[in-house]
């Protein structure tokens, strides 16, 4: 199975509130909130780290969850966000032209 890489879309607005990420899509002004697990994935979405590594390093290490189940959930989650234009997903590393300075705040 090939690696999956994810990067935050630069067209969204995002800010953490009490450990949960608020994300506003500029495309359709839809507001999303991510729970702490989703927030951890979002913050780690640098375009360079494979999703499987993110799950292992950021999710399994911090949350009480089985690795296989966590990866499956993460893939569904990532696909969902990609459909909304919030995350970019590729089977190759994604070059982020201008890293958003406040993405992890």
Strand (E) or helix (H) holding 23: strand 20-25
Nearest distance from C-beta of residue 49 to other proteins, angstroms: 19
Alpha helices in 13-87 (DSSP H): 36-44, 51-54, 67-83
- Smallest distance from other proteins to CB 5, Å: 20
Of 61 and 101, the one with the shorter C-beta distance to other proteins is 101
The CB-of-3 to other proteins minimum distance in angstroms stands at: 26
Exposure string over 3-23, b if 16+ CB within 10 A, otherwise e: ebbbbbbeebebebeeeebeb
Write the CB contacts of 94 (distance below 8 Å, at least 6 apart in sequence): 5, 6, 7, 47, 48, 88
Binding-site ranges for other proteins (CB under 8 A) = 10-18, 22, 24, 26, 29, 31, 33, 98, 100-103, 105
Taking the complex as a whole, how short is the minimal distance between the CB of residue 10 and other proteins, in angstroms? 7
């Amino acid at each position: 199975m090939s690696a999956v890489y994810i990067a935050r879309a630069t067209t969204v607005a995002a800010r953490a509130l009490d450990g949960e990420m608020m994300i506003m899509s500029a495309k359709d002004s839809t507001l999303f909130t991510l729970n702490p697990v989703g927030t951890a994935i979002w913050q780690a979405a640098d375009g360079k780290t494979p999703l499987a590594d993110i799950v292992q390093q950021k999710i399994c290490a911090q949350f009480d969850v089985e690795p296989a189940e966590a990866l499956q959930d993460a893939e569904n989650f990532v696909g969902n966000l990609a459909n909304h234009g919030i995350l970019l997903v590729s089977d190759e590393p994604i070059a982020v032209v201008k890293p958003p300075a406040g993405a992890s705040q």
